[in-house]
């Protein structure tokens, strides 16, 4: 509320805001002083207000991405990592890295996560903003008489304040704090996902390296067999049909080796991107373990996931945000009270002090639209939380079922590979002695290589499924209680 020039029926004894003329001075000097004082006061007030303002600071965009982090910076940050699901680790980039170390590096150096962590600064600023009270409103007017003589300038001033901010401030602060907590949990969940993605890529690279080695070994064997067949056909020992079969076998083996090479290179590029490294950076990994843990109980793991998944905690904090927004909307349905202290002097040099009170009349709006929106938004968040609970249970149950199938298939395949190795060794010894045709030993070796590749693919799939299961449960399974 701002004051007007004629308010003054109620005259309190306090005249702090009253512009008081000098009663003992008459004439031109008094008029000049009276005219100069308001202008000087306005200038002083403007300087005070401008002195408290924040100035603009330029922050340009970068021309290129950040360089790779130094080894020292990575090691220091990894040793003091503070995360609810990831423990700090010691990192030595000169040696091979474990999946846990790769996960921590991804959390520290991933550029997407750096951008997400910038949201924390916004949330902190919003908490600061929610605790601020609105500035008071000051008004000043000067009216100069032009149609009569012997009059003085009319002056009016007012100082107003919106008192509704006093009782809505605690609710606004609660909303901002809950929003900050939601952002923290969202970022922590994204960090957990990024760490898991790095571990998953490490498992994929380990499996693909094994597959590539076996595939190139099979390709070399197929090429050698093709060369021998070409010489045999040239001597007339074999027919052209035998040659075509060898050509097809060598071509298939070469295609499989090249495909494994492409998949491995793509996985390495993806890992470098997840770690925030340049594409040509070389990351040495620890050899993956071939032992697979038994599948956990789905019911128990789902219950633990409900307690430890950070995205569920973030959704819970988001629900608290919208609940606080609804409370704020309910408070804002009541009239907003604006209080203003006014002082004036009319053209007859009559001074007045007064107070003005303004408030909304809750006749038609009563903030019902905002209340309805906030109530529906809170219900939407409740539905999203329930949907996330359902998807968590479904995802974990599906992953465990697939993992159990993979374990059974691997056990069956491994049971075939062990005796097949002995048979192949016996055939190769017999072929070198000339007891059997060499092509028989080569065919047995190719069958063994196919089985070994299939076993390596199953090992890779099981390792990736275990990481995916830990990602879905929200924590390392071996560390959950």
* C-alpha distance from residue 25 to each of 19, 32, 321, 352 (Å): 15, 11, 62, 20
> Do 214 and 452 form a contact (C-beta atoms < 8 A)?
yes
- Residue 21 placed within a domain: no
For residue 103, tell me if it sits in a domain: yes
Is 55 part of any domain? Answer: no
- 188 part of a folded domain: yes
Distance CA 169, CA 457 (A): 59
Note whether residue 123 is domain-resident.
Answer: yes
pLDDT of 400 strictly over 50: yes
pLDDT of 312 above 60: yes
Which DSSP state fits 59? -
Element holding 334 (H helix, E strand): none
Q: So what's the pLDDT on residue 38? A: 55
Residue 5 within a domain: no
Confidence of residue 12 (pLDDT cuts 50, 70, 90): very low
Residue 387 clears pLDDT 90, i.e. is over it: yes
- Tell me, what's the pLDDT at 276? 87
**Is residue 429 assigned to a domain?**
yes
Q: What is the rounded average pLDDT of the residues 458-470? A: 95
Tell me the average pLDDT across 456-469. Answer: 95
- CB contact set of 430 (below 8 Å; sequence gap of 6+): 436, 441
Range of the domain at 311: 30-48+66-479
Return the top range by mean pLDDT from 2-16, 191-205, 280-294, 421-435.
191-205
**Tens digit of pLDDT for each residue in 403-441?**
999 999 999 999 999 899 899 888 888 888 877 877 788
17 burial type by CB count under 10 A (0-12 exposed, 13-18 middle, 19+ buried): middle
Alpha-carbon distance of 327 to 332, in angstroms, equals 9
* Residues 15 and 351: beta-carbon distance below 8 Å: yes
* CATH number of domain containing 242: 1.20.1600.10
The region of weakest confidence among 174-188, 223-237, 360-374 is 223-237
CA nearest neighbour of 355 among 339, 332, 378: 339
How many independent structural domains does the chain possess? 1
Q: What is the DSSP pairing of strand 137-143 with strand 351-359?
A: unpaired
Answer whether residue 57 is part of any domain: no
By CB atoms closer than 10 A (0-12, 13-18, 19+), residue 395 is middle
pLDDT of residue 232 exceeding 50: yes
């Amino acid at each position: 509320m701002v004051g007007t020039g004629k308010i003054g029926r109620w005259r309190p004894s306090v005249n702090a805001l009253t512009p008081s003329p000098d009663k003992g001075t008459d004439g031109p000097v008094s008029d000049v002083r009276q005219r100069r004082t308001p202008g000087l006061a306005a200038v002083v007030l403007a300087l005070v207000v401008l002195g408290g303002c924040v100035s603009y600071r330029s922050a340009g965009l970068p021309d290129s991405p950040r360089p790779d982090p130094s080894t020292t910076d990575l090691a220091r940050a990894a040793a003091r990592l503070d995360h609810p699901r990831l423990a700090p680790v010691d990192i030595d980039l000169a040696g091979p890295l474990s999946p846990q170390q790769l996960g921590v590096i991804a959390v520290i150096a991933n550029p997407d996560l750096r951008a997400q962590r910038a949201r924390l600064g916004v949330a902190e600023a919003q908490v600061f903003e929610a605790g601020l009270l609105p500035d008071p409103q000051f008004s000043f007017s000067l009216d100069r008489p032009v149609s009569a003589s012997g009059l003085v300038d009319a002056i009016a001033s007012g100082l107003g304040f919106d008192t509704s901010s006093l009782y809505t401030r605690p609710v606004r602060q609660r909303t901002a704090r809950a929003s900050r907590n939601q952002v923290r949990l969202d970022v922590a969940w994204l960090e957990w996902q990024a760490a898991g993605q790095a571990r998953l890529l490490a498992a994929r690279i380990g499996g693909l390296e094994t597959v590539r080695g076996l595939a190139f070994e099979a390709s070399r064997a197929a090429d050698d067999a093709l060369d021998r067949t070409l010489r045999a056909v040239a001597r007339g020992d074999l027919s052209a049909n035998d040659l075509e079969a060898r050509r097809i076998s060598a071509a298939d083996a070469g295609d499989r080796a090249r495909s494994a090479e492409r998949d491995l290179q793509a996985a390495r590029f993806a890992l470098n991107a997840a770690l925030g490294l340049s594409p040509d950076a070389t990351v040495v990994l620890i050899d993956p373990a071939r032992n697979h843990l038994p599948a956990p109980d789905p019911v128990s793991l789902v219950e633990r996931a409900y307690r430890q998944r950070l995205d569920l905690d973030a959704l819970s904090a988001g629900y608290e945000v919208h609940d606080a927004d609804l409370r704020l909307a309910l408070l804002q349905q009541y009239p907003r009270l604006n209080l203003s202290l006014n002082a004036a002097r009319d053209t007859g040099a009559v001074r007045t002090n007064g107070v003005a009170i303004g408030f909304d009349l809750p006749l038609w709006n009563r903030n019902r639209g905002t209340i309805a929106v906030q109530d529906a938004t809170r219900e939407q968040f409740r539905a999203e939380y329930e949907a996330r609970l359902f998807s968590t249970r479904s995802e974990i149950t599906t992953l465990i079922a697939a993992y159990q199938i993979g374990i059974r298939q691997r056990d069956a395949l491994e049971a075939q590979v062990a005796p097949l190795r002995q048979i192949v060794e016996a055939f190769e010894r017999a072929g070198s002695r000339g007891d059997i045709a060499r092509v028989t030993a080569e065919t047995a070796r190719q069958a063994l290589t196919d089985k070994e590749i299939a076993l390596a693919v199953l090992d890779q799939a099981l390792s990736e499924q275990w990481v995916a299961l830990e990602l879905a449960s929200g924590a390392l399974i071996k560390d959950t209680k």
